[in-house]
Amino acid sequence: MNRLLGAACALPPALAFAAAFALSSPLPAQEAEAEATPAAPASTFGQPDPSLVTGGHYKADPHHTLVEWSVDHLGFTPYFGLFSDISGTLDLDPKRPEQARIAMTIPVTSITVASADLKAHLMKPPASEGGKPDFFGPKPEDARFVSTLVRITGDQQAEMTGNLTLNGITKPVTLQVLFHGAGTVPPQMGGGEGLGFDATGTLKRSDFGLDFGIPMVSDQVELKIAAAFMKDAAKAAP
């Protein structure tokens, strides 16, 4: 084969191209083998198709549910981190999506940031006994979001308002929610029915007593959420 390729390179450009094309073309036997090989089946488990959603009681998948937060740092760059290990429930009737109810628990201690020094600062105890920590302190309570209103705003889109409890303070927060997909999870990955959503929103951290560093670090926090749920077959929706 190497000798044939070397010979092809020594030919004039037009002939060299024809020789290279001939060498790269499959032989009849190779074509027959390719035709006999079945194409890979299309994905059937996660599809952006609302008709695949079935009503019932769902539990949040803590391994694939994430809350990304982002703030502006000194007007130079955004800085973002994640909350993980999130648990919760979703009760849903696809015929009445506006009646969907969700309750989520977000462990503040699960916060992930790129800087070890920043992580230490976020969990740093107050400077004096009985004082206020700069951010969450060493033993922060879990944050919690409980929906209070769902309004359908478009094709596979909704606006969800709920009460967010963070740092011991409860305030309403509104999220823009987009249906991402639903279907059956492959048996090798546990099986069952799953569905997921994307959501975005904003909040002011000062509303929750987290005002350290404002305005050098923005008061406004951008939220980007990936929420995955698995149907609890043992429990019917209320």
Which two structure tokens, joined as six digits, stand for 114? Answer: 């790129």
Is residue 183 within 8 A of residue 192, CB to CB? The reply is no
Mean pLDDT of the chain: 86
CA distance 200 to 179: 12
For residue 107, the Cα-to-chain-centroid distance in whole angstroms is 16
Q: Which residues contact 121 (CB under 8 A, 6 or more apart)?
A: 134, 135
Is 188 found in the same domain as 159? yes
| pLDDT for residue 43 | 54
> Can you tell me which residue has the tokens 């929103």?
201
Residue 13: how many CA atoms within 13 Å on its side-chain side?
0
Residues 82 and 185 in one domain: yes
pLDDT in tens, 180-228: 999 998 888 888 999 999 999 999 999 999 999 999 999 999 999 999 9
**Whether residue 93 has pLDDT greater than 80:** yes
Which pLDDT value is given to residue 20?
A: 42
Q: What confidence score (pLDDT) does residue 113 get?
A: 98
Tokens 């409890």 -> residue:
165
Q: Which domain holds residue 26?
A: 2-36
For residues 29 and 234, which has the higher predicted lDDT (pLDDT)? Answer: 234
Q: How confident is the model at residue 235 (pLDDT cuts 50, 70, 90)?
A: confident
pLDDT(101) > 90: yes
Same domain, 83 and 172: yes
Please indicate, yes or no, if residue 43 is contained in any of the structural domains. Answer: no
User: What is residue 53's three-state secondary structure?
Assistant: coil
pLDDT in tens, 130-183: 899 999 999 999 999 999 999 999 999 999 999 999 999 999 999 999 999 999
User: Which residue from 50, 42, 69, 65 is spatially nearest to 180, judged by alpha carbons?
Assistant: 50
Query: Where is pLDDT greater, at 121 or 185?
Result: 121
Q: Are residues 124 and 7 in the same domain?
A: no
My answer on whether 121 and 32 are in the same domain is: no
Q: Quick one: which of 234, 238, 230 has its CA closest to 54?
A: 230
For residue 196, list its beta bridge partners.
181, 228
| CATH number of the domain encompassing residue 203 | 2.40.128.110
What domain count does the chain have? 2
Question: Considering the domain boundaries, does residue 44 fall inside one?
Answer: no
Phi, psi of 119 (to 5 degrees): -60, -45
Q: Identify any residues that bridge with 145 across adjacent strands, giving them in sequence order.
A: 104, 164
Is the predicted pLDDT of residue 108 greater than 80, yes or no?
yes
Q: What is the pLDDT of residue 233?
A: 77
> Where on the phi/psi map is residue 206: left (φ > 0), alpha (ψ -120 to 50), or beta?
alpha
